[in-house]
Amino acid sequence: MPDWDLVIGHGPVLVTAIHDGHAIRNSLLPHLAIDEASRRREEDPMTAALTRAGDVRLVARQSRFQVDLNRPRHKCISSDPADTWGLQIWKPGLPGAELDASMREHDQFYTLVRALIDALLKQWGKVLLVDVHSYNHRRDGPQGPVAPMLGNPDIELGVTTLDRTRWGSVAKRFADVLRDHPINDAKPDVRENIRFPTGGYFPEWVYATYGDKVCTISPEYKKIFMDEWTGKLDIAALEHCRDGLQHAIDAVRPEFLA
């Protein structure tokens, strides 16, 4: 069965964490070439906690390397390091049956999302989708330098598919409120489309399917709420991130209730 957590509340805001998961199918485990710690470092741990800001919350528990829900179906699992930042995730010769199983999970996820958004649109007429991710900023090792701030904001807002005419003011208000909520006593640097200017498949699919009926914002949090090498969590920083996201959503929520 597909491996995700779904909580349905009352409201027009859907918050997702599609790269939070770490689970791998038992049948895939013998084919892993990457160690567990390195694999976890490339996932988005703890982003599920940020989905609590949503009315409807959807969290993937399976690893992005089992099925990457932010990539097209035919690329949702790959043994080519060129598709995974030079990392060898899988041993050569990944069985076709495993590829097929991951693609079926991809299909099931998008069937679920379509049903969710259809239901939300029927009730509310428009939807705010907040697609939460995180990224590493200490690529040179645990004692290495942090990535330069110029190209690595504390929170990147992916708005590559956002209809500026209809939702531009919403995106601006969302960003302004995030900037006003400190993380560990410092106001975060929040910018749009810096590290990932082309976005991902998930928001592209949503826009292709629903157009401007859905406003998609993809906050990509620098992992300043944890040690990305040890996995140690800074609970206070994570709660600051969640609180800021909650306030940003609450600030624009009226636009989706009218």
CATH architecture observed for domain 4-256: 3-Layer(aba) Sandwich (3.40)
Q: How far apart are CA 59 and CA 5, in angstroms?
A: 5
Decide: pTM greater than 0.85: yes
Q: Span 50-72, mean pLDDT?
A: 97
Burial of 71 (0-12, 13-18, 19+ CB in 10 A): middle
Residue 198's pLDDT is what? 85
Tell me if 14 sits within 8 A of 256, measured CB to CB: no
DSSP codes, 182-246: -BTTB---EEESSS-TT--HHHHHHHHHHGGGEEEEEEEEESTTB-TTT--B-HHHHHHHHHHHH
Tell me the per-residue pLDDT of 158-215, one tens digit each, with 9 for 90 and over: 999 999 999 999 999 999 999 999 999 999 999 999 998 888 999 999 999 999 999 9
Tell me the per-residue pLDDT of 112-155, one tens digit each, with 9 for 90 and over: 999 999 999 999 999 999 999 999 999 888 888 899 999 999 99
Domain ranges of the chain: 4-256
Given a cut of 90, whether residue 67 has pLDDT beyond it is yes
Q: Span 234-241, mean pLDDT?
A: 98
Residue 2 banded pLDDT, cuts 50, 70, 90: low
